[in-house]
Amino acid sequence: MTPAATAPVDAAADLKRLRAPADLADLAEKVVHRQRLSFDDGVRLYRHPDLLAVGRMADLVRERLHGDRVYYNINRHIEPTNVCATACAFCAFGRDAQDPEAYEMSHDDVYERAAACVAEGATEVHIVAGLHPQFDLEWYEEMLRGLKARFPALHLKCFTSVEIAYFCRLHKLSHETVLRRLIAAGLDSMPGGGAEIFAPEVRTQICDNKCDADEWLQVHRTAHGLGLRSNCTMLYGHIEGDEHRVDHVLRLRALQDETHGFQAFIPLAFHPANTRLSHLPGPSGRLDLRVIAVSRLLLDNIPHLKAYWIMLGEKTAQVGLSFGANDLDGTVVEEKIVHMAGAESPERLAVDRLTFLIREAGKTPVERDTLYNVVKREKARA
């Protein structure tokens, strides 16, 4: 947490600013006095009709932590294959190996994309993929070594917990062995995907074939123990309810109390098109903002919260900066996972556009690297 998190409390001024309705007064007191919110508090915040009052509380917490700074980075996503064994109900990206739309990149394809993003000033590549038996631990070790040899300064943020758990099963190795090998090959940190919703009654319906909540969390626990930083996510707006979302973030909070290894939480807005859940409407704008705000309030120990414009769209992501979010993620460049599921956002945003959205929201844009160090450049590049 930043020093702002421990700044003296001016409770009277903060309470005045929150203008909480009478039936949220007890929660406003807790927020102002930095007391931890409970499961029941979280459910109440989801159900309270005054979304703006909930948003004001989250915005106070955001401001305490980050002032008017909003982070972004110059990054690129690379998804080496869409062949995937899991067939999750919410996913439009994964394909059977025989599917005409299945694709497999070579190491050179990955290097070519990485070279293009380095030329554009990227500090990070974010690499995740389907679970493909030929894209095994050795394939990825070679990919990481090849990337590090060519682009030593590029941060390699790769593999969800689900992929790590898959390599473990494929090779009959422990989480620790797989992670140590990947770190030795060049892995710098892990993204937060694959968390979906932890509660088994939801998880078994939307992604029965992938690792369960305990294993997802255990992989991050092990990674943090080995010195890796990681992110965490939650996929919302499908069949889950308020209690499932609260339970999910409280499990993340409990792990963070132990390890302090999570840097950012990213709520992922479900896109239903071309999935087995295409009959669902997907989240509303109000739910998008509510999830950002309630997550900010409950996750008192995870410093950053991303409004991921790829899934929210530019406009909701920008408004999210007044509901508790302090990071817009990055330029991204090529995104297949939600664009296959009907996302209408562009696949890339230029730095100028990201900084415009942040400034126009009344905040100061700050370019960061993956570990939230400030990046200083002569002149920002698009």
Interacting residue with ligand V47 among 271, 290, 339, 363 (CB under 6 A)? 271
Phi, psi of 98 (to 5 degrees): -85, -10
345 binds ligand V47 (CB under 6 A): no
Instruction: Pick the closer one to ligand V47 by CB: 42 or 194.
Output: 194
Which residues neighbour 155 within 8 Å (Cβ) at sequence distance 6 or greater?
123, 124, 125, 188, 189, 369, 370, 371
User: Binding of ligand V47 at residue 341 (CB under 6 A)?
Assistant: yes
Task: Give the Cβ contact number of residue 118 at 10 Å.
Answer: 18
Strand partners, 190: 230
CB of 194 to ligand V47, least distance (A): 5
Considering only 29-37, 186-194, 221-229, 356-364, which stretch makes contact with ligand V47 by CB under 6 A?
Answer: 186-194
For residue 216, the minimal CB distance to ligand V47 (Å) is 10
* Residue 188 interacting with ligand V47 (CB under 6 A): no
* Least distance (Å) between residue 42 CB and ligand V47: 21
Q: Tell whether residue 206 is a contact of ligand V47 (CB under 6 A).
A: no
| Min separation Cβ 269 and ligand V47, Å | 6
Q: Which of 153, 165, 140 is nearest to 81 (CA)?
A: 140
Return the closest-CA partner of residue 286 out of 320, 309, 318: 320
| Residue 110 near ligand V47 by CB under 6 A | no
Residue 212: DSSP 8-state: -
Report how far residue 85's alpha carbon sits from residue 87's, in angstroms, rounded to the nearest whole number: 6
Q: Which of 340, 338, 293, 291 is nearest to 313 (CA)?
A: 338
Nearer residue to ligand V47 within complex by CB, 6 or 274: 274
Q: Which is nearer to ligand V47, 60 or 287 (CB)?
A: 287
Q: What is the token pair recorded at 323? A: 């509901």
Considering the complex, state which of residue 6 and residue 204 has its C-beta at the smaller distance from ligand V47: 204
Q: Note whether 91 binds ligand V47 by CB under 6 A.
A: yes
Q: How far is CA 379 from CA 268, 353, 358, 375, in A?
A: 32, 15, 17, 11
Report how many residues bind ligand V47 under the rule CB under 6 A: 23
Residue choice 81, 123, 160, 316 for contact with ligand V47 (CB under 6 A):
160
The overall longest dimension of the chain from CA atoms, in Å, is 64
The first and second tokens of residue 99, run together, are: 């599917």
Residue 270 in the binding site for ligand V47 (CB under 6 A): yes
Q: Is 314 in the site for ligand V47 (CB under 6 A)?
A: no
Distance CA 193, CA 211 (A): 12
CB nearest ligand V47: which residue? 193
CA 172 to CA 175: how far, in whole Å? Answer: 10
Question: Which listed residue (287, 298, 338, 358) binds ligand V47 by CB under 6 A?
Answer: 338
Phi, psi of 145 (to 5 degrees): -60, -40
158 interacts with ligand V47 by CB under 6 A? no
229 near ligand V47 (CB under 6 A): no
Least distance to ligand V47, CB of residue 86, Å: 11
Query: In angstroms, rounded to a whole number, what is the distance separating the alpha carbons of residues 211 and 206?
Result: 12
Interface with ligand V47, residue 20, by CB under 6 A:
no
Residues 166-185 that bind ligand V47 (CB under 6 A): none
Asked if 233 is part of the footprint of ligand V47 (rule: CB under 6 A), the reply reads yes
Site of tokens 């030929």: 134
Residue 331 binds ligand V47 (CB under 6 A): no
Residue nearer to ligand V47 on the CB measure, 246 or 338: 338
Helix (H) or strand (E) holding 136: none
Nearest alpha carbon to residue 166 among 202, 200, 204, 139:
139
**Which residue among 329, 345, 366, 367 contacts ligand V47 (CB under 6 A)?**
329
The beta-strand segments (E) located in 145-228 are 155-158, 189-190
Q: What is the binding site for ligand V47 (CB under 6 A)?
A: 90-92, 160, 191-194, 196, 231, 233, 235, 266, 268, 270-271, 275, 308, 311, 329, 337-338, 341
